[in-house]
Amino acid sequence: MPPNLTKPNSGFTSKPSPLCTFVSLIFLLIIGFYTLHYPPGNPKKVLLFQQIFLSSASNSTIASYLRSLTSHPHLAGTKPSLETIHYVKTHFQNLGLETHTVPFQTLLSYPVHASVLMHFGNGTVLNLPLNEMGIPSYPSSGLIQPYHAFSPSGTVHGKVVFANHGREDDYRTLGLMGVNVNGCIVVIRKGGGLSRGAVVKIAEKKGALGVLMYAEGHVSKGSFGSGVERGTVMEGVGDPLTPGWGADEDGERLKLEDKKVLQRFPGIPSLPLPFESAQLILDSLGGPLAPQEWRDSGRSNLSHVGSGLVMVNFTYQGEKKLATIYNVVAVIRGLEEPDRYVLMGNHRDAWTYGAVDPNSGTATLLDIARRYALLMRKGWNPRRTIIFCSWDAEEFGMIGSTEWVEQNLVNIGAKAVAYLNVDCAVQGPGFFAGATPQLDNLILEVTKKVQDQDSEVVATIYEKWKTMNGNNIQRLSGVDSDFAPFLQHAGVPSVDIYYGRDFPVYHTAFDSFNWMINNADPFFWRHVAVAGVWGLLGLHLADDPVLPFDYLSYAKQLQEYKDAYSRVLDGNISLTPLAASIQEFTSAAKQANEETKKLMEQEFTNDLLALKIRALNDGLMLAERGFLDTDGIKGREWFKHLIYGPRSNYESGLEFFPGISDAMAESKNMSQKDGHAAIKHEIWRVARAIQRAAAALKGELV
């Protein structure tokens, strides 16, 4: 354990204090009393177990897990990744949990060779560095050279144009300056809210030959230079050879040449560059002066956008091949409702060492499992089944979680209560949360119970979070972590929480244990805070007799979404179907809340009350599934959720009702009649989805 892990006067050390031991003993005696005098599920007893969960936190234990997980790089499908699989599986087994691995054989992508050469007018050639500077030996460290997974192989030669963040608006700006990227290599600076795949797709549409990307992450304490950001450029999620079904070893697969497979990959090569190499290219550019906002918005020394006299020769050779990946799943069986599942997940694979992304989350998940096992030894059993999920190959496009969801789709649809995701548990300061709206109130209540260690005075996460951004809970429309298949394909209520954002060593070789203890969380107290929130969310969802879902929050959000569209849509397009369905949903949400209050006021349990609670919970659980549509989002049919999901209209600021947003963008290329018809159809689709959710919430047939 590093010497600086124990925070002075923190109350937590690597060993429990005598006071903590005494308090735990008192808790045990009280629990024994309540077990004898109160029926199972008594709120006082449940509260005591929650208190024990919080009191058993250990910063040094989480640190030890993270040190072990990040001792070497562990890219999915490689031999070193097997060690992390074994570590996680053994941890769960040693806690006495029912544990197994779930293998899938999927298409992954690895680099073979890459080079970027600058050819100057005087005949000299400069071979640009492509790896992080300050790392003496890539091969001996186990690091794989920076690359973009699923980039096509190829060699391109041409002039260079700087296209800022690679957005449509950036290309329009270049066009106004008389700069055409057709037949050129474009250099892109990370930012602008687009995924790597979207950046390459837009560049390809503009006629570019290839894409070179760089990030402007500042040098951090413990780093020796700027990192190189790896990542995938594949469109969509899951194994491209098994779209819609699990990638079993002996199962059906599409051919690599299949049109459905090829359309998932870009048509032009791309590669990430170190900042220093990108700067050398930018220094060589001629042509028009870059817009002032482009020059002011980044760290790079930018003057011109190109092109110039210098030519660039860019080669990338990659290999796409079948590889076996392994999810690790551990189960705590529910005592009263074993057929209702609370899923808690994090991915395990990393581009390099993965201290932040993702193993800060992995270490936190392992600690929650340790603390749940402690509760079990003290007499606790959850009402519902808890499933710990350690996903593989997330970095390639949420492959491990997607294949598991596809393989278990019927059972997940019928039995999954919620999915609680943590990817990068700790990136820096500040608490952030994303969720489907029915979970908002639960998140707020839980954060009132967990201390925020960043505060100068004693304060809860809720209090610090409120001063930071007003307890803003984001929505899960993005396709950027393992909640995507659960929510956007299976319709499972979902949560995603983390500390900090936009850390400078993202997907680089500097995302190491040393960077974590020098920068993001020296004492691992932010890890403890995330574990507290994540673990309490799991306990509430597993133990509360009535599921803690409030669909009035969802109804309010839907109304706000409808109002946002009313401000931007043509006045000839009616939102009446949407308004009527939201009103119906609001009524169902009020009815569910009234039923919850009525049932929770009952003093004694009996079979009839248990059946009523079960029926209410079924509606609360299944309402989210109502937002799914079998036809999916047009052009991205795998994504079924019509409220939250990816949109093809990258420029739209409307991150909800993606089908309507896309129809609005497409209508610009249609006649007014056809455009209006397309938008109205999508409005009706969303209205019908909301009606389905209302019907599920009421639990009645229409």
- Active-site positions? 394
Q: Cα dihedral angle (69, 72, 78, 84), rounded to 10 degrees?
A: -20
Residue 298: partners with Cβ closer than 8 Å, 6 or more residues away = 189, 191, 216
Residue 638 token pair: 């795998």
Give the bridge partners for 342, in sequence order. Answer: 386, 418
Residue 414 token pair: 């019928």
Q: CA angle 649-396-485, nearest 5°? A: 60
Q: Cβ atoms within 10 A of the Cβ of 609, count?
A: 13
Across the beta sheet with 185-189, what order do the strands follow? 160-162, 185-189, 210-214, 270-273
Query: Which DSSP helix (H) or strand (E) runs through 432?
Result: strand 431-435
**HEC-encoded secondary structure of 304-317:** ECECCCCEEEEEEE
- Report the C-alpha gap between 106 and 103 in whole angstroms: 10
Given the DSSP bridges, would you call strands 494-499 and 431-435 parallel, antiparallel or unpaired?
antiparallel
The letter for the amino acid at 288 is: P
- Measured CA distances, 33 to 28, 45, 48, 335 (Å): 9, 9, 12, 20
Query: Which DSSP helix (H) or strand (E) runs through 498?
Result: strand 494-499
- Measured CA distances, 552 to 182, 441, 585, 590, 697 (Å): 51, 10, 9, 7, 11
Interior/surface letters 98-122, b for 16+ CB within 10 angstroms, e for the rest:
ebeebebbbbbbbbeebebebeeee
Residue 281 token pair: 């290219």
Residues in the chain: 702
The letter for the amino acid at 83 is: E
| Backbone angle region of 123, left / alpha / beta, with phi > 0 → left and psi within -120 to 50 → alpha | left
Q: HSE-up of 29 (CA within 13 Å, CB side)?
A: 6
Q: CA angle 442-523-347, nearest 5°? A: 55
The letter for the amino acid at 118 is: M
DSSP state of 545: S
